[in-house]
Amino acid sequence: LERVLIHGVVMINETLEIDVFVTHLGLLKWDEDLAVQVIYVLQKINQVSITSNKILMGDLNLEYNSSQLAPVYNFFNDTLGGVPRPRTFPSINLFGKPIESIDYIYTAKNVINIVESHVITDFLPGNNSAEFGSDHLPVVATLTFP
């Protein structure tokens, strides 16, 4: 599990716990491999979840409308939802402006309310890779729980 999906339970208070999952899908065999990885991640989430409050996030290396991501939308809402979706990759000026939207924060359907979500784009100017921290722009979401 640790190689594919990181899982942690966050205790907000005595009555609210959240299952948080983080993944970074690989790029070996683009179409078939990513489809299998998505299904595997969803199966693991269902096996180890402790609560109905679930958050899945990470670099999925797939655009929001790709067929491989379709199963995710059966269980989760995309906090960035809507079109056009903000671009998250690449973040570094050496590669030009971000052109792909492949980073996500998903929340369990009918459990978590999405107040607001955005991509942080205010990084330091220049081409020094030490200034960027990641080649992806981060997604941030504000959530509430009923």
Per domain, the residue ranges of the chain are: 5-144
Task: Please give the CATH number for the structural domain made up of 5-144.
Answer: 3.60.10.10
Tell me if residue 38 falls in helix, strand or coil: helix
Percent of the chain that is helix, strand, coil (3-state, to 5): 25, 35, 45
User: Between the CA of residue 94 and those of 62, 75, 121, 131, what are the distances in Å?
Assistant: 22, 37, 15, 12
Pairwise CA distance, residues 120 & 134, whole Å: 12
Global pTM exceeds 0.85: yes
Pairwise CA distance, residues 7 & 2, whole Å: 8
Q: What is the pLDDT of residues 111-143, one digit of tens each?
A: 889 999 999 887 656 566 666 677 888 999 999
Q: What is the pLDDT of residues 32-83, one digit of tens each?
A: 688 999 999 999 999 998 888 999 999 999 999 999 999 999 999 999 987 7
